[in-house]
Amino acid sequence: MAPRIALVTTRELAAPDADELLLLPHLPEASLVAWDDPSVDWAAFDVAILRSTWNYHDDVATFLAWARRASSVTRLLNPVATVEWNTDKRYLADLAAAGFPVVPTTFVAPGTEVPDDAVVALDGHLVVKPSVGAGSNGALLFDGDAAGALAHVRALHAQGKVAMLQPYLAEVDTAGETALVYLGGRFSHAARKGAILSREMSFDSGLYAEEEIDPTVPTASEREVGDRLVAALPSLGHPGLAYVRVDLLPTAAGPVVLELELTEPSLFLGLDPDAPSRAAAAFRALL
């Protein structure tokens, strides 16, 4: 069967992602294709589904320019307008404005200083990271180190990046982070991710941090937030998505959104024996 679906990856990934290895046997219509391979004829595919494009943040302008070109000759999923919105975590402000619980965040653009009314003081327990980034690249944890936190903000600014300040939510150290995976608009499965910033991080691949991932059953409150958010995405301007991953952190007041992954998330297909076939069916339905 001639490949009709491009599962979009990058030439920098030395071996196929685990999700892709599980998905391909269920999806003979698909082949792995690198976004940064200039020889690819994207018009040869009916659908191009972003998967392991994990180096996009190194040159997001070039990546978005490619996405616009590809979407002009094939159906890019998730859609380019969604990708443009989702690759900059300032979308969290849009989610908060729409009434969703999100991790309190202060964005500090280059050329500006950390405001006095930032959601967390520089000498508090906080995370400082770029608004454009994959995984935990560029994210650092500080506790009582105002000088270090400010130095990291300035280092991000020197790279032309918007810095984000968020309070470190200590509940993650015991409860972990929950990732809800939706395929074709329907809930599929969930993962529990161990705290990553409170321990030594490993970027063995050069593209992402090694994480501790286990299957989990989300709580009713986690499902309520995730389901409500996925249902609202069309009204927020993001219809027809192939996949959604909602990353939640626990708090005493209930779960809050850490990230809404619509561009290139790991889908943790290995955590559920039926997830690869569900993903294949959802992607096949896009043809």
What is residue 97's three-state secondary structure?
helix
CA distance 96 to 207: 29
Q: What are the two backbone dihedrals, phi and then psi, of residue 21, each rounded to the nearest 5 degrees?
A: -65, -35
Q: What's the DSSP call for residue 196?
A: S
Radius of gyration, alpha carbons of the chain = 19
CA distance 12 to 236: 33
Across the beta sheet with 106-108, the strand order is: 106-108, 163-167, 125-130, 140-143
CA distance 238 to 230: 10
What is residue 265's three-state secondary structure?
coil
Let me know if 41 is exposed, middle or buried by CB neighbors in 10 A (0-12, 13-18, 19+).
exposed
- As annotated, the active-site residues are 223, 245, 261
**DSSP H/E element including 174:** helix 172-175
Rounded to the nearest 10 degrees, how much is the dihedral formed by the CA atoms of 86, 135, 96, 191? 110
Q: Measure the CA angle with vertex 159, ends 87 and 66; round to 5°.
A: 40
- Both tokens assigned to 208: 């992402």
